[in-house]
Structure 1
Amino acid sequence: MTIKLRLLSLVTFLFLKIGFSQDAKVTITSSDLSETSFLERTEFKVSYSGSIFWNNGINLGAEYLFKEYTKVKNRKRGLRTNTHQFLLNGTLGFTTNFSTKTDTGIFTNYGITWRRTNKKGKQFSIAINPLGYYRSFLPETYKVTGDNVEKVFLPGRGYYAPSLTIGIGKQRLVKNTGRFFNITSCYAHHIMQAPCLLLIFSMATVLTLKRKKNMQKIIKNCSKVIVLIITLCTVFSCSNDIDFNNLNDTIFVRHRNADMPAYIHGNGSEKVFLIILHGGPGGIGLSYRSSTIKSDIEKECAVVYFDQRGSGMAQGSYSESGISIDIMAEDILALVKVIKHKYGNDSRFFLMGHSWGGTLGPATLLKDQSDFLGWIDVDGAHNTQGMYLEYIANFNRVALEQIEAENDIAYWESVLNLINTIAPEYNLDDVQRLNSEAFEAEAVLHDAGLINSEAGGGDNIIFNYTPLTILWNMQNTQSILDSDLFQNINFQDRLSEITIPSLVLWGRHDMVVPIKFAQDSYDNLGSIEKELVFFENSGHSPMSTEPDLFAEKVIEFINQNK
């Protein structure tokens, strides 16, 4: 927070420096505004805004001129005349992500604008808006308190949202109108350090309407915009009748100060739900809606793609202590209660976790496995504590094998050099280096023909999520959880307490969660009915590299145990 305050102070200093600095070759003439009316000093703006592909919206604004002066500089090419203006500004706007409806809200901000205009009417402006507020509007949201589930009226959250805007434009001097292009950086802050909507870059083309002659037009246009906003909000808040044969729902789970989206797709006719726990920590749920999960598994059951706390488009207001594996496991159980409340108490569940999801899955089942018919572990990190030393051993083994096979010898020799620099005692920096190197190693194994290329055919994530939001969330959530994740979490000795049918799926060439943990998971699970399947041409993500076999095994497991 201190860094942000320093940055804001620097921007404010530069703002004032630009506006009030003088030198010997400059002549400044102040304008007398005393005889101009309030309306003559006020500009009204209507603009379309959007974050490139992700969010679209409209906003209304006004700027009140309180200081103006003309600065004439003596340059080699002659005199350069610029008009400098200081204006009080205010904006009210509406924005939405039409694809998922998870990023809809209204915003307002107030501040001061400095604007420079040359003789040709070309303008450059900087606006600092310390007074900002963003109110999100969420789709259907259910609050879980203990065993009680209730639907939330007008769900959403409010955020303090100061902003900084830089704009360029062209003023039409004859008609007193203009068009502008603005880039706005907005910081929506609340208690939690990994919120949904932290950083938004928006671009807007603005039409400025000036002076009292245009007031009737302004009022008429504003009225239309307000009606449009109310209509859009009403449409987004309406829920459709449930079509169990083809579920296509987005709901939010409110639990312990977090609002987390669940995207539910597929065949719910038998009320069988497969909940997928994404990797990360800090990943996104809909990244798994691809290939045969979407085309095959969704035909057999309803698939729930869940953005975990502090991930994807989840929102909330809580401190760092509000992100822990214990609380996140409770979130999954809360999700189960919400689905039962919405679709019926006869709903049945399977749980699947990939990578970090394979850590969160056991944590959830060890709290309560009574609602689940089966557990699917996909390259899951159930023993992150033991991964440090296993990384070293696995890198050494694979590197020697690849050097002997004469596959990319230079790279694998560099890997051997790397692990020789790693201390045998746990170190967070080293484990993060090893984890990063593991992904690079899988890319090299792919080039050697040992790992298949990833299949596509899924949802276009770029339109479903705001990239800056998910990147911010991922960074913050990882930084909070990683400090404890690789050092203290080990469920291996408690896997025997998981007794529901289990399926362990693993890529033979997984460098991220080494193959040793596949056998450990299978051997230690307390399930009577369990199966271990290796994917011979896969690394860490067999659902993408061998999608047909993956779907076949998952569907077979669900049909056997539903």
Structure 2
Amino acid sequence: MNSKPGVIHDSSLYKAFSQSPVRAAGNKPDLSIYRSPGKAEYGAFSYTAPVEGLLQIGGPHSAETKWTDDFEIAWTKMGDRGPLVLFLHGVPTNRSQWEEVQGQISRFCETISIDMLGMGESSKPRLYGRKDDPVSNDRWHWANDVDYIEKLMQHEFPGRRFIFIADDWGSGIASHYAARHNDRLEALIQVDPVAFDGYPVNEIQAIGRASEIPNTPEGDAQFAMLFAAFDQTLVQILKSMVYDPSRYNQYNLRYLTFPYVDVDYERNGQNDGITDVARSTTMRLKLHNLRVLSDRAAILSPALLLPYHPQCNPNGVQYQNITVPTLIMWGEYDNMMPAAQTQRFVHALGTKDVQISYVPRAGHFPATDNPDHVTDTIINFIRRIVGHQALADIYIGNHGIWKGDERQMIQELRMIYGLKD
């Protein structure tokens, strides 16, 4: 063993890499060799917004609402050591989209995933910012989400720099955040990002168009009729975003559809006078939440993610301010936003350290299609940026054919790099 952690002798590495297998070669990877991330912790950040929105109170189908600027941003924390990592999801999803990847990465990093305002378990303000200006809808610009992300991270992890991982819609927010708070980041990772003039897309544009329906009782009735089959539409949208549609089924889809559609485990325990047992005709749509989604989708435009110009595009992204190392990942079979857009980031960002990686057998949601490859790429990128000793544990992979001596190897490598079990 070396006398100083991090000072590597050839003899130490030889010992680490020449163990005799204790089980037959070719066995499946045994991820239990890594340190446990511990149990996930769930909570919410109380956020006072600069403007008000109309929140629904008294249950998912209540007609009772109130104007408020006090909202909650729901989060999941996993892991307690290593570099700090923030995950932000896409649309129409929530933080559960990152659950599998977050679970693996939290063995090596301290992680937090959040639901963006208006989605998942976070507050869903209708007519956000339109109490005094019914026409304007610009509070849903991606740039405005930067405010609660910065306040949340400073509240939960004061002064700590972090690695921002985002995909789809979340990456639009991440681009604006990185351009404004580059000094707060260790690195930026974008996965199938909405960027430049590649947005909006038809699937989401159609939802946004419904925001033109008046916010009146008559308008709400019209909205309800137009969205009567939204549960089917939502499932089809989600299945079009993955390379392998069988990744989604009626069980795991519940985690993504619950903000917009009644699910059986909710209804079966409600005893609300309609029925105690969920049936197709009783699992209603949550129209308040759908109107919030429609409002969010309506405001998005290519200008919001094209490069900044003081006269031509004042709401654009100042990409040149982003000087931290950046990883751009893209599913090779993304049929929503083509992977060829990756090369544009190389020329737009202010950093020369731009790594591009294509995810095999993956569509627009690579973390769902191929979580092992996504995890492997992210951890290797983070290790390159922060070094071996900064991770909470030694990483020697999560897939492929293992020799069988990994449990002994990792113990030796922990000693070499001065890491605790």
2:247 is aligned with 1:454: yes
Q: How far apart, CA to CA, are the structure 2 residues paired with 1:438 and 1:316?
A: 18
Q: How far apart, CA to CA, are the structure 2 residues paired with 1:349 and 1:513?
A: 27
2:72 is matched with which residue: 259, 270, 276?
Answer: 259
> SS of the counterpart of 1:561?
helix
Give the corresponding residue for 2:390. none
2:86 is matched with which residue: 275, 278, 281?
Answer: 275
How far off its partner does 1:501 sit? 0.5
2:191 is aligned with 1:378: yes
Superposed, 1:373-522 pairs within 5 Å as 373-383=186-196, 385-387=197-199, 428-429=205-206, 454=247, 462=255, 468=261, 472=287, 475-492=290-307, 494-522=318-346
Bigger Rg, structure 1 or 2? 1
How far off its partner does 1:520 sit? 1.5
- Give per-residue Cα distances to partners, 1:129-148, cap 9 Å, x unaligned: xxxxxxxxxx67556799xx
2:67 is aligned with 1:191: yes
Give the corresponding residue for 2:29. none
How far off its partner does 1:299 sit? 0.5
Structure 1 counterpart of 2:327, which letter? L
* Contact 1:162 1:188 survives alignment (8 Å): yes
* Contact 1:100 1:464 survives alignment (8 Å): no
Structure 1 unmatched ranges of 5 or more: 1-98, 103-138, 147-157, 164-183, 193-255, 393-426
Which of 509-518 and 437-446 deviates more? 437-446
Structure 2 counterpart of 1:300, which letter? F
- Give per-residue Cα distances to partners, 1:196-255, cap 9 Å, x unaligned: xxxxxxxxxxxxxxxxxxxxxxxxxxxxxxxxxxxxxxxxxxxxxxxxxxxxxxxxxxxx
Q: How far apart, CA to CA, are the structure 2 residues paired with 1:438 and 1:141?
A: 28
Structure 2 unmatched ranges of 5 or more: 1-38, 130-138, 211-231, 263-284, 309-317, 387-421
Backbone CA RMSD of aligned residues? 4.5
How far off its partner does 1:351 sit? 0.3
Give the corresponding residue for 1:229. none
Structure 2 counterpart of 1:186, which letter? S
Q: How far apart, CA to CA, are the structure 1 residues paired with 2:255 and 2:300?
A: 29
1:310 is matched with which residue: 111, 118, 121?
Answer: 118
Superposed, 1:320-339 pairs within 5 Å as 320-321=128-129, 322-339=139-156
1:561 is matched with which residue: 382, 385, 394?
Answer: 385
How far off its partner does 1:303 sit? 2.0
Q: Identity of paired residues, percent?
A: 15
Structure 2 counterpart of 1:495, which letter? Y
CA distance 1:461–1:306, change in 2 (3 Å):
farther
Superposed, 1:130-149 pairs within 5 Å as 141=45
Q: Which of the two has greater strand per residue?
A: 1
* Contact 2:97 2:367 survives alignment (8 Å): no
Q: How far apart, CA to CA, are the structure 2 residues paired with 1:488 and 1:440?
A: 28
How far off its partner does 1:558 sit? 1.5
Bigger relative contact order (CA 8 A; separation at least 6): 2
Q: Which consecutive aligned stretches of 4+ in structure 1 deviate over 4 angstroms post-superposition? A: 99-102, 139-146, 158-163, 316-319, 427-433, 436-446, 450-453, 458-474
* Contact 1:258 1:318 survives alignment (8 Å): no
2:94 is aligned with 1:284: yes
Structure 1 counterpart of 2:105, which letter? I
* Contact 1:260 1:308 survives alignment (8 Å): yes
How far off its partner does 1:552 sit? 0.8
* Contact 2:56 2:64 survives alignment (8 Å): yes
> SS of the counterpart of 2:73?
strand
> SS of the counterpart of 2:72?
strand
- Give per-residue Cα distances to partners, 1:441-483, cap 9 Å, x unaligned: 996898xxx7585399x98964996664895565233322322
CA distance 1:517–1:162, change in 2 (3 Å):
same
* Contact 1:355 1:381 survives alignment (8 Å): yes
CA distance 1:378–1:472, change in 2 (3 Å):
farther
Q: How far apart, CA to CA, are the structure 2 residues paired with 1:349 and 1:143?
A: 20
CA distance 1:460–1:496, change in 2 (3 Å):
same
How far off its partner does 1:515 sit? 1.8
Aligned length: 283
